[in-house]
Amino acid sequence: MDYKIVKREEFQVVGIKKVFSFKEGQNLIDIPKFWEESWSEGIMGRLKELGNGEITKYMGICSISEEQALKQEMDYWIAVESTEELPSSIGKLEVPGLQWAVFQSIGSLPDAIQQTWQKIYTEWLPNSKYEQGPGPQMEVYGFGDNRADDYECEIWISVIRK
């Protein structure tokens, strides 16, 4: 699997958050619905205004506390990078400065990105010189038609050397 290692300083994202169960892959069903609801309710337009305008990239950010891991739950944010003041309906998350393994996913969503996640955990992580580090995991969505066969997005995973 192709990847690149990127070091990034701390940054802030703003968005909306829900808690999802990952028991029996329920998150693979519910998270795409969360995105659909966010688009249909106009939330994505509001986030774009808080981000960097036309160059804003949407992010899906997953974080799991120790307590949540025991319950097989996770926080999932739909967010944009921003330093703007926030309306009360929008939350913020500070993403720590970390070293990331960045993977490109190409293809129609949600299938392509879900397949990329699976390959990262079943093929790349067990065989790489890295292990998953602290902090959240991120999906960074590119521009264009996310149902197209050539749609491009990225998965960012915090890593440390084994």
Q: Say how far residue 99 (Cα) sits from the centre of its chain.
A: 15
Per-residue pLDDT 10s for the chain (162 aa) are 899 999 999 999 999 999 999 999 999 999 999 999 999 999 998 898 888 766 789 999 999 999 999 999 999 999 999 988 777 778 999 999 999 999 999 999 999 999 999 999 999 999 999 999 999 999 999 888 999 999 999 999 999 999
* Strand runs labelled E in 22-128: 58-63, 73-81, 91-95, 98-106
DSSP for 9-28? Answer: --EEEEEEEEEEE-GGGHHH
Please, which residues bridge with residue 130 across strands?
A: 161
Which of 31, 34, 43, 56 lies closest to 111 in space, CA to CA? 31
Which of 83, 72, 67 lies closest to 24 in space, CA to CA? 72
Look at residue 56 in the predicted model and tell me its pLDDT: 81
Angle at 95 between CA 84 and CA 76, to 5 degrees: 90
Look at residue 86 in the predicted model and tell me its pLDDT: 77
Look at residue 37 in the predicted model and tell me its pLDDT: 96
